[in-house]
Structure 1
Amino acid sequence: MIDQATIDRILDAAQIVDVVSEFVTLRRRGVNYIGLCPFHNEKTPSFSVSPSKGLCKCFSCGKGGNVVHFIMEHEQLSYYEALKWLANKYHIEVKERELTDEEKQAHSLRESLFVVNQFASEYFQDILYNHIDGQRIGMTYLRSRGFRDDIIKKFQLGYSTDSHDALARTAKQKGYQEEFLVKTGLCYRKDDGSLRDRFWGRVIFPVHTLSGKVVAFGGRVLSAATKNVQMKYVNSPESEIYHKSRELYGIYFAKQEIVRQDRCFLVEGYTDVISMHQSGIENVVASSGTALTPDQIRLIHRFTNNITVLYDGDGAGIKASIRGIDMLLEEGMNVKVCLLPDGDDPDSFARKHNATDYQAYINEHEVDFIRFKTNLLMEEAGKDPIKRASLISSIVKSISVIPDAIVRSVYTRECSQLLQMEEKVLIEAVAKLMEQAQENKFKENQRKQQQALREQQVSQEKTESPAIPASPTEKQESPVPQENPMTSPTTSTDAQPEAPATTATASADEYLSYIPLEGNEQKVFYQREQALIRMLIRYGEKVMCYLENENGEEQPLTVIECISSSLKEDELQFHSALDRRILKEAETHLQEPGFVAERYFLSHPDADISKLAAEMVSDRYQLSKYHSKGQKIITDEERLYELVPRLLIDFKISIVEEDMKHTLQALNNPDIYNDPQKCQEIMKHYQDLQKIQIPMLQKAGDRVVLPPSL
């Protein structure tokens, strides 16, 4: 079994364009890529790949999904074999065994930490908007920086009062464990064992993962609210879920625009990202004051090959940061550098200019990194031969890491002119460095292989001990035999996913219907059921309207709640066992902080569920051929309050009609007709369906035609 954390790592690392390109020749069309479908013969390309969503789909044969589903279909592998194929490609270790109790506990711990972080994010936002200090100090500061209210809300900025334990006290009152508050880094323990907030008296900047989960926080001290604090910024420490080297601030908000622009701007801090977003430039991320890491670079590389690094006029800062840019070149990225005017950083420059002027300045002043580095170091070296030699070595090293031979050749020729050196000397130096790098890489691979072999031997020694037999009281899962739907009602027990340690496993539900289990794909009721599942996966957690409760208070109604309550009202269920399971899991997880149905089901460990989710969301991301200029397109999300109820009533009418038809056919079976008790049960089922059908038809506004009575 592959644990969820490893699956998430594989899905985060796997670049769908990179994987599909191994089997299909792709060319860019808008923000997506298109090519000839590998699953059927075609002459006109209809296979579309969306790098921002990590999905592919053929709009001719309909095959597609995420990167795992593509490998499953193309290589004819199982779900877990496809995961292992991708893990091998991206050098991610997968241990093929059952999770130990400790590993299950670690998985539960990760989920708990995300829940606590989501609570903290909402707490900080509530303080900013509703606490007097939040308004007087936090909001005043943010507005003094020129941030609009919509931008503050978009980035989920917050504030923490100067009380040293306000968050800790509130969290404990709401039932959150002290252990998780400490492990997320939100709090730390004092010598006397009491909890102290890490971010007290600060404006809060939540850090989001690529999928939008809050993984960490940054806090900026405000001198008016705190005293004797030395550090301007405090950031979350490393934790089970947060590794600074793998995260980029703003990537969640920037990824789609990075794909659309085919370029990413790299800046240093939180406010740089936010100010540029506000000015209209959204394809920007920040390294948050740290040197770039390979994981961060690969994160950017998922969406574009082109990156522009924005620097202010601080020479010392530039020299310190360019040391890490060689890694960008090593990853095959096209790197450019833009120096902003003296006295300006990306934040202040964005507040002075709109997006058009900002873009125009960058386009006019950006230069490729090799030329920038050469000019910068040449100016510093002057006529000193020792410094010039050091400069040449540094430039040659940068050129040597570029993987593309043609690009290396072009840069070598250009640098020979800039440095006034023979091109042959530079070529030899580059070749020598590349040979040395290959040798070092070979030695490193050998070391890793030996280490893996030692770990494997240790693991084998542990598994050679006698296995402990399972307790006779342990629950064993076994498939439920399917009865003939024409002789008796279809009853299926939905297998439940493994529940978190804190949630009891729900009891299995029983589904009573005379509709055959298979062969319903073309039936009206089944197509309407799929339309509802599509709504659930795409918009499940979205609020579609507000309803008054018994006390006259308005309560939000989500899509999941609407579908669930409506079906229960008429004692109906989805026909497909997979659809019933999806609805049940959606109901179970809806109240969890940060739950997003689309994200949850796309990364689901069950291959059937993740495949269905990918099919349900993939068609949303194709470009409309009928978009007329200046005409506003009303999306499904904007009319959920009318669309979901209509789909529900249509589905319920059609499935009841289908069930009634098959119920009548069941009565014609001689085995049932000659069994009075069985016959009576089926007749009662038919009459129950009649009672359900008439009010539904009236609600739909149709003319009621009474079905034949029994």
Structure 2
Amino acid sequence: MRIPEETVERIRQSADIIEVINDFVSLKKRGSNYIACCPFHNEKTPSFNVNPVRQIYKCFGCGKAGDAVKFIMDIENIGYGDALRYLAKKYGVEIEEQEQTPEELLRQNERESLHIVLNFAKTYFQENLQNTDEGKSIGLSYFRERGFTNPTIDAFDLGYSLDLWDGLLQEATRRGHSRDLLEKAGLILTKENNKVFDRFRGRVMFPIHNVSGRVIAFGARILKADKTQPKYLNSPETPVYHKSQVLYGIFQAKQAIRQEDVCFLTEGYTDVISLHQAGIKNVVASSGTSLTTEQIRLIARFTPNVTILYDGDAAGIKAALRGLDMVLEEGLNLKLLLLPDGEDPDSYVHKVGADTFKEHIQKNSQDFIDFKAKRWLTEAGDDPMKRAEGISDVCASITRIPDHLKRQTLSQRVAQVFHVSEQSVISEINRLLRQQQDQKKKEFDRNDRQQQRQQTTAPQAPDAASLEDINALLNGLGIDAPPPDWEADTPHAVTSPAAPRPATTRTSLSYQEEECIRLLINYGARELEPGITLCQYMLDELHEIDFQTSPYNLILTLFREAYSRGDILTSADFLNRPPEDDDAIQQQAIHLTTPRYEISDGWEKHEIFVPSEEEISILADAAYRNILRIKKMLAEQRMASLQQQLHEAVNSPDDSDRLMLEFMQMKRVEMQISQLLGTVISG
């Protein structure tokens, strides 16, 4: 169902891109813009840029770009209409839509339908907990025993699944939800005899939310003693739920993580809920799985600082050590805290209270060097071989850190803790790094040989490697991937934005066409002299000239059509185009309006003044020289074509004379333009 245009406009005007993106990524102000590590690809150095004035974002690493609506579409992997509904709900914009029938629900795309049915299940479990005798006597009593208050129960949408074979199935069917969707969402199961029943029965329910707060799965705990049933049961993988990419409590914790600038990482659902209730809200847990790289990267969106809070028993230590190197490898700052033996965060915070728990964290959190060194030194005693093994183990963790300056600083710390020379520590780190590089090279060579064998045995036309493939290969080798325009020899000034590099080799003319469009989009309405706008000047000079690069010619045509109506298009006309109309035009506009670099404020303090492109004299000269370059290149193209025709018309004197005359005319034009540009002319 289409949302009225006036409502779309209200949503766009209400949405602030900084607020929207801050729900998913921690933005930091730099100059007039905001930056962050991109949420769409793995990177260590921030290349994700958000412009609050133009209300757009652009990643100079992977090329993702758009406005607030496009960001929600990309980050949530949803359609244009659903992204508008998300923003409308966030900003309280009412959308007048007819109530959907069960048939319309079935026609919706699968992902959105799954979200709808999962939200129904969440509400169903909540109502069971609060409004049924079984829910109150079993589920609610359990939560009360854990010390959970009503606000906490509501904050985490806790619920209860009745001990019935098909209670949820019957209610869902009555509400118009299909059995197929319920099964795809992991809510029901089908036996071999085609008997259908609820997956979660007689269990307290812990809904799992994504970053934006939508329910995507459930964790469930059985309360009765039944050895035939697992104590904990989680939703299976679905199109909307991938457990390796989700952290329990991230929706409830993200603002606190950003404010406190640290994330506490635990293992269990009740650990998160109890700490949250105690006022320690910047806490999450791995969701039914061991800690994964994707989960660490999710934390990195909000803070570079992680403190692991695990149980003090052998299993807790093992889990902490397993996650340690993974956190370091992603470039985060890591601390570890093991609670007293026999305690977990849930039990310990109830035992000592919130204030004592916070004090315990502050006093006993260790960096990974102290954490590992304490274990090794206790185990080694006076055994020098064990001490050497411990030093090597700590050095191996240091090699995981991508920042070489951090590695150097930490090598000094290792030397102090183990009472050895710093040089010996550095030598061991370098040895391990070389070993890792050799291993990566062997794996690369092995994969390369395997690929060559496959091509030899089954020859086929190779596909051109995409930029994503190249970036993935470079990242795998520990090399930062280049920006999308890494091969471009662009004639733009330093302040010019980077544009996406086409898959095919670009001509010199395409760069000048791009520059012309950049000037039109950014400055088309500016007057170069009284009564003469830049748009009027450039369109007059380009009369009857069409661009050869498709997207630039389309934008040029839009400028011409608008100008014929007495209008001059601005950047807003392109930036605010709905992606469903022409996503390529919006993307090009963002590329051409987003500068990668800004002049530092420090330059002005030292009285170093850089001329601005917005100054009329500089802007007029840029437009003038751009037009000259376009015409010069068109003349050169024509001369090249004439030379080819002359070669083919060697036996036709009349044609040769005509072609030679035109060639000389084009040559004179090219020479005149070269003189105006001040370029060197070859004889």
* Correspondence for 2:183: 182
Measure, in 1, the Cα distance between the counterparts of 2:150 and 2:186: 28
607 and 197 in structure 1: CA distance in 2 versus 1, 3 angstrom threshold: farther
* Correspondence for 1:160: 161
Cα deviation code 1:31-55 (max 9, x no counterpart): 752222xxxxxxxxx3345889999
Cα deviation code 1:580-606 (max 9, x no counterpart): x99xxxxxxxxxxxxxxxxxx9x9995
Cα deviation code 1:287-340 (max 9, x no counterpart): 135321111111111111110011222133212431221011111111001122
| Matching residue's letter, 2:402 | P
Cα deviation code 1:410-429 (max 9, x no counterpart): 32232233334443333222
- Given that 1:291 and 1:321 are in contact with CA atoms closer than 8 Å, whether structure 2 keeps it comes out as no
| Matching residue's letter, 1:195 | V
Measure, in 2, the Cα distance between the counterparts of 1:266 and 1:417: 28
* Correspondence for 1:112: 113
Measure, in 1, the Cα distance between the counterparts of 2:238 and 2:363: 42
* Correspondence for 1:346: 345
Measure, in 1, the Cα distance between the counterparts of 2:320 and 2:115: 32
Matched, 1:254 2:245: no
- Pairwise CA RMSD of aligned residues? 4.6
- Given that 1:207 and 1:217 are in contact with CA atoms closer than 8 Å, whether structure 2 keeps it comes out as yes
SS in 2 for 1:265: strand
Cα deviation code 1:224-265 (max 9, x no counterpart): xx6334422111122222211111111111112111111100
| Matching residue's letter, 1:33 | K
SS in 1 for 2:109: helix
- Cα deviation for residue 58 of structure 1 reads 5.1
- Cα deviation for residue 610 of structure 1 reads 11
Matched, 1:362 2:361: yes
- Cα deviation for residue 458 of structure 1 reads 8.1
* Correspondence for 2:264: 265
* Correspondence for 1:281: 280
| Matching residue's letter, 2:33 | F
Matched, 1:64 2:64: no
- Given that 2:320 and 2:336 are in contact with CA atoms closer than 8 Å, whether structure 1 keeps it comes out as no
SS in 1 for 2:265: strand
1:477-556, aligned counterparts within 5 Å? Answer: none
145 and 434 in structure 1: CA distance in 2 versus 1, 3 angstrom threshold: same
Measure, in 2, the Cα distance between the counterparts of 1:316 and 1:281: 24
Measure, in 2, the Cα distance between the counterparts of 1:241 and 1:610: 27
SS in 2 for 1:196: strand
Cα deviation code 1:641-680 (max 9, x no counterpart): xxxxxxxxxxxxxxxxxxxxxxxxxxxxxxxxxxxxxxxx
- Given that 1:279 and 1:353 are in contact with CA atoms closer than 8 Å, whether structure 2 keeps it comes out as no
- Given that 1:127 and 1:160 are in contact with CA atoms closer than 8 Å, whether structure 2 keeps it comes out as yes
- Given that 2:169 and 2:198 are in contact with CA atoms closer than 8 Å, whether structure 1 keeps it comes out as yes
140 and 329 in structure 1: CA distance in 2 versus 1, 3 angstrom threshold: same
- Cα deviation for residue 442 of structure 1 reads 4.3
TM-score normalized by the length of structure 2: 0.54
* Correspondence for 1:696: none
Measure, in 1, the Cα distance between the counterparts of 2:115 and 2:121: 10
Matched, 1:33 2:28: yes
- Cα deviation for residue 66 of structure 1 reads 3.6
Cα deviation code 1:79-137 (max 9, x no counterpart): 69xx99xx9xx9x9xxxxxxxxxxxx999333332222122111111111111111111
- Cα deviation for residue 176 of structure 1 reads 2.3
- Cα deviation for residue 517 of structure 1 reads 10
- Given that 1:112 and 1:180 are in contact with CA atoms closer than 8 Å, whether structure 2 keeps it comes out as yes
Measure, in 2, the Cα distance between the counterparts of 1:117 and 1:368: 40
131 and 63 in structure 1: CA distance in 2 versus 1, 3 angstrom threshold: same
- Given that 1:51 and 1:303 are in contact with CA atoms closer than 8 Å, whether structure 2 keeps it comes out as no
Measure, in 1, the Cα distance between the counterparts of 2:274 and 2:28: 31
SS in 2 for 1:325: helix
Unaligned runs of 5+ in 1: 1-15, 21-30, 37-45, 93-104, 462-515, 523-529, 531-575, 583-600, 613-710
SS in 1 for 2:247: coil
Matched, 1:299 2:306: no
| Matching residue's letter, 2:124 | Y
| Matching residue's letter, 2:231 | K
Cα deviation code 1:585-636 (max 9, x no counterpart): xxxxxxxxxxxxxxxx9x9995899999xxxxxxxxxxxxxxxxxxxxxxxx
325 and 220 in structure 1: CA distance in 2 versus 1, 3 angstrom threshold: same
Unaligned runs of 5+ in 2: 1-16, 41-47, 78-105, 465-563, 590-683
* Correspondence for 1:122: 123
* Correspondence for 2:668: none
Measure, in 1, the Cα distance between the counterparts of 2:117 and 2:460: 39
* Correspondence for 1:586: none
Measure, in 2, the Cα distance between the counterparts of 1:107 and 1:605: 23
- Given that 2:264 and 2:283 are in contact with CA atoms closer than 8 Å, whether structure 1 keeps it comes out as yes
- Given that 1:52 and 1:256 are in contact with CA atoms closer than 8 Å, whether structure 2 keeps it comes out as no
Measure, in 2, the Cα distance between the counterparts of 1:186 and 1:179: 10
- Given that 2:243 and 2:288 are in contact with CA atoms closer than 8 Å, whether structure 1 keeps it comes out as no
66 and 349 in structure 1: CA distance in 2 versus 1, 3 angstrom threshold: farther
| Matching residue's letter, 2:175 | K
- Cα deviation for residue 376 of structure 1 reads 1.7
TM-score normalized by the length of structure 1: 0.52
Percent identity, please. 43
- Given that 2:39 and 2:301 are in contact with CA atoms closer than 8 Å, whether structure 1 keeps it comes out as no
Measure, in 1, the Cα distance between the counterparts of 2:137 and 2:566: 63
- Cα deviation for residue 145 of structure 1 reads 0.5
- Cα deviation for residue 158 of structure 1 reads 0.7
- Cα deviation for residue 194 of structure 1 reads 1.0
Cα deviation code 1:173-220 (max 9, x no counterpart): 333222222222222222311122221111100111112221111001
* Correspondence for 2:33: 47
Measure, in 2, the Cα distance between the counterparts of 1:447 and 1:416: 37
* Correspondence for 1:317: 316
Measure, in 2, the Cα distance between the counterparts of 1:79 and 1:53: 14
| Matching residue's letter, 1:318 | I
1:571-650, aligned counterparts within 5 Å? Answer: none
| Matching residue's letter, 1:134 | G
252 and 442 in structure 1: CA distance in 2 versus 1, 3 angstrom threshold: farther
| Matching residue's letter, 1:157 | L
Measure, in 2, the Cα distance between the counterparts of 1:389 and 1:519: 76
* Correspondence for 1:25: none
Measure, in 2, the Cα distance between the counterparts of 1:162 and 1:198: 11
Cα deviation code 1:337-393 (max 9, x no counterpart): 112234431112233455444322211111101210121233234455665454333
Measure, in 1, the Cα distance between the counterparts of 2:158 and 2:187: 16
* Correspondence for 2:145: 144
1:77-476, aligned counterparts within 5 Å? Answer: 108-223=109-224, 227-288=226-287, 290-353=289-352, 355-383=354-382, 387-442=386-441, 444=443
- Given that 2:308 and 2:320 are in contact with CA atoms closer than 8 Å, whether structure 1 keeps it comes out as no
211 and 67 in structure 1: CA distance in 2 versus 1, 3 angstrom threshold: farther
Measure, in 2, the Cα distance between the counterparts of 1:605 and 1:351: 56
Measure, in 2, the Cα distance between the counterparts of 1:283 and 1:78: 30
Cα deviation code 1:467-489 (max 9, x no counterpart): xxxxxxxxxxxxxxxxxxxxxxx
SS in 1 for 2:248: coil
Measure, in 1, the Cα distance between the counterparts of 2:295 and 2:149: 29
| Matching residue's letter, 2:203 | R
Measure, in 1, the Cα distance between the counterparts of 2:122 and 2:160: 9
49 and 424 in structure 1: CA distance in 2 versus 1, 3 angstrom threshold: closer
Name which one, 1 or 2, has greater alpha-carbon Rg.
2
- Cα deviation for residue 578 of structure 1 reads 12
- Given that 2:113 and 2:181 are in contact with CA atoms closer than 8 Å, whether structure 1 keeps it comes out as yes
- Given that 2:391 and 2:414 are in contact with CA atoms closer than 8 Å, whether structure 1 keeps it comes out as no
| Matching residue's letter, 1:47 | N
305 and 71 in structure 1: CA distance in 2 versus 1, 3 angstrom threshold: closer
| Matching residue's letter, 1:436 | Q
- Given that 1:65 and 1:611 are in contact with CA atoms closer than 8 Å, whether structure 2 keeps it comes out as no
